[in-house]
Amino acid sequence: MKKIALITFIILLIDQVSKFYVKTHFHLGESLDVIPGFKLTFVENPGMAYGFHFGGLIGKYFLVIVRVFLIGGMVYLFGKWLKQRASNYLLLPMAMIFAGAIGNLIDGMFYGLIFDSGTVYDESIGRWIEYGGISQVTEFGTGYADFMKGCVVDMLHFPLVDWHVPEKWPLIGGTHVEFFKYIFNVADSAITMGAALLLIFRKKAFPHGFDL
């Protein structure tokens, strides 16, 4: 249990500190080159990991509820697996996924309540509206959106290929080629790495098959 708690705490700490820093020091859309192939680029995501979203506010509420049930289910499973003395090959990757899910849930549920500005949904036109300036922490409950209407902060950007095709090239001249274009956060990374580790070590993680 201590290992699960420690991994969860460390990931959540890094995730939330990085989000608070970027949210309160970067303009939305601002990008800072760190090293070749790695940038800090501040975007806000109203939906799932890696910038995916759907369904406006209804879709957002759905995702928050799904995350709450997922986290609750994982708490139950951790209790069961610990009693069964499950392998660290199972517990540690699941702890990473658990922490990542909590990290993004915090943003969606509470960031609208504690920051004075952020991306909001305009129901009259059916789309998300961005903002200018730099956000500041405000009195709880007086932020830019109501409970469960906050947006997830993303900043990790790895454009390993970022190239404009020369105009003189036939057919594709002037095209912008970027790989990897998705912008994500520490919580997304933890979920992805945890899932990858479970896949790689699945035989050790589930020596008797997947049994809930």
- Give residue limits of the domains in the chain: 2-205
pLDDT (average), residues 81-86: 89
Question: Which is more confident, 18 or 204?
Answer: 18
Amino acid at 54: F
Q: What is the pLDDT of residue 176?
A: 63
Q: What value does the mean pLDDT take over residues 96-108?
A: 94
DSSP-derived 3-state class of residue 136: coil
How far is C-alpha 173 from the chain's CA centre?
Answer: 34
Cis omega (within 30 of 0) on the bond before 38? no
129 pLDDT exceeds 70?
Answer: yes
Q: What whole-number percentage of the chain has pLDDT above 90? A: 59
Least confident range from 77-81, 98-102, 187-191: namely 77-81
Q: Can you tell me the distance from the alpha carbon of 127 to that of 119, in angstroms, rounded to the nearest whole number?
A: 10
- Cα separation of 60 and 48, whole Å? 9
Residue 55 pLDDT: 56
The tokens for 201 are 């070590």
Q: From CA 100, how far away is CA 7, in angstroms rounded? A: 11
**Is residue 177 within a helix (H) or strand (E), and if so which, with residue range?**
strand 176-179
The pLDDT > 70 percentage for the chain reads 90
Q: Which two tokens stand for residue 147?
A: 């409970």
One of 15, 116, 146, 188 is an active-site residue; which one?
188
- Per the model's pLDDT, the better-predicted residue between 47 and 124 turns out to be 124
Q: Is 33 a catalytic residue?
A: no
Give 145's pLDDT tier (boundaries 50, 70, 90).
very high
Calculate ∠ Cα 176-180-183, nearest 5°. 105
Catalytic residue among 146, 154, 162, 211: 154
Quick check: 151 pLDDT over 80? Answer: yes
User: What letters, b where the CB count within 10 A reaches 16 and e where it falls short, cover 87-114?
Assistant: eebbbbbbbbbbbbbbbbbbbbbebbbb
What is the average pLDDT score of the chain? 88
Among the ranges given (12-16, 155-159, 174-178), the one the predictor scored with the smallest mean pLDDT: 174-178
- Mark whether 146 is an active-site residue: no
- Per-residue pLDDT band for 174 (boundaries 50, 70, 90) equals confident
86: its two tokens: 């499950």
pLDDT of residue 166: 76
pTM as predicted: 0.85
Q: How far apart are CA 51 and CA 57, in angstroms?
A: 15
